[in-house]
C-alpha cells in the first residue's frame, strides 16, 4: 500500500467513520471539490455532510471494503452502518439500522486531495429507514 493510499483511506475513515473531520480537511487541497449526483460541492459542504451523518446515526461505522491506487487516483469501495437516532435529510429518527454501500474516487496531487467523485444510492438508505417514498413519509405512513 502506498503512502498516499494509506493517508487517504486513514483520513477518510477517521472523518466519515469517527467524525474527525479535521483529518480529512488537513489532507484536502486548497481547491478541493467533490462531485456527486447533486453536483459540485466544496470542502465546507462535505464537512457539514460528514458532521450531519455522524450525528444522525448512533454506532456509526465506516469500513473500507477495497482501496486501490493508480497513479494519482485512489478508489475506495466503502460501507457505512449505523442506527438512525437523529434527523437526517429531513427524516426524523426511525431507530432502524441503516447500511449504505458506495464508492469514492479521490484524485491527489502534491500530497493533497484535489478532486473527489462519489457514488451511492440515497434510496438504499431511505429504504433501510423504511421510508419507501416521500409521499408516504409526508402523510405519516412511513
| Measured distance CA(4)–CA(112) in Å, rounded | 9
| Measured distance CA(114)–CA(109) in Å, rounded | 7
Is residue 136 predicted with pLDDT exceeding 70?
no
Q: CATH number of the domain at 3-138, please?
A: 3.10.450.50
* CA distance to 2, 21, 75, 119, per residue, from 40 (Å): 28, 19, 18, 13
pLDDT > 70: percent of the chain: 92
**pTM reported for the whole predicted model:** 0.84
Cell of 36: 456527486
Q: Break the chain into its structural domains and give their ranges.
A: 3-138
Question: For residue range 8-66, what is the model confidence (pLDDT) as tens digits?
Answer: 999 999 999 999 999 999 999 999 999 988 889 999 999 999 999 989 999 889 999 99
Helix (H, G, I), strand (E, B) or coil at 88: strand
99 φ, ψ (degrees, to nearest 5): -125, 130
* Residue that wins the pLDDT comparison between 141 and 99: 99
45 φ, ψ (degrees, to nearest 5): -70, -40
Q: How confident is the model at residue 1 (pLDDT cuts 50, 70, 90)?
A: low
Per-residue confidence (pLDDT) for residue 84, from 0 to 100 = 93
Range list of H helices, 1-142: 3-18, 21-27, 43-56, 122-128, 134-138
The full length of the chain comes to: 142
Amino acid at each position: 500500500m502506498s503512502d498516499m493510499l494509506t493517508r487517504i483511506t486513514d483520513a477518510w475513515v477517521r472523518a466519515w467513520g469517527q467524525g474527525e473531520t479535521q483529518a480529512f480537511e488537513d489532507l484536502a487541497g486548497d481547491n478541493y471539490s467533490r462531485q456527486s449526483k447533486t453536483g459540485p460541492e466544496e470542502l465546507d459542504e462535505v464537512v457539514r455532510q460528514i458532521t450531519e451523518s455522524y450525528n444522525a446515526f448512533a454506532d456509526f461505522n465506516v469500513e473500507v471494503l477495497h482501496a486501490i491506487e493508480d497513479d494519482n487516483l485512489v478508489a475506495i469501495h466503502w460501507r457505512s452502518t449505523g442506527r438512525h437516532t437523529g434527523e437526517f435529510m429531513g427524516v426524523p429518527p426511525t431507530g432502524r439500522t441503516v447500511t449504505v454501500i458506495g464508492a469514492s474516487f479521490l484524485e491527489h496531487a502534491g500530497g493533497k486531495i484535489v478532486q473527489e467523485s462519489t457514488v451511492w444510492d440515497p434510496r438504499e438508505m431511505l429504504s433501510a429507514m423504511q421510508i419507501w417514498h416521500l409521499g408516504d413519509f409526508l402523510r405519516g405512513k412511513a
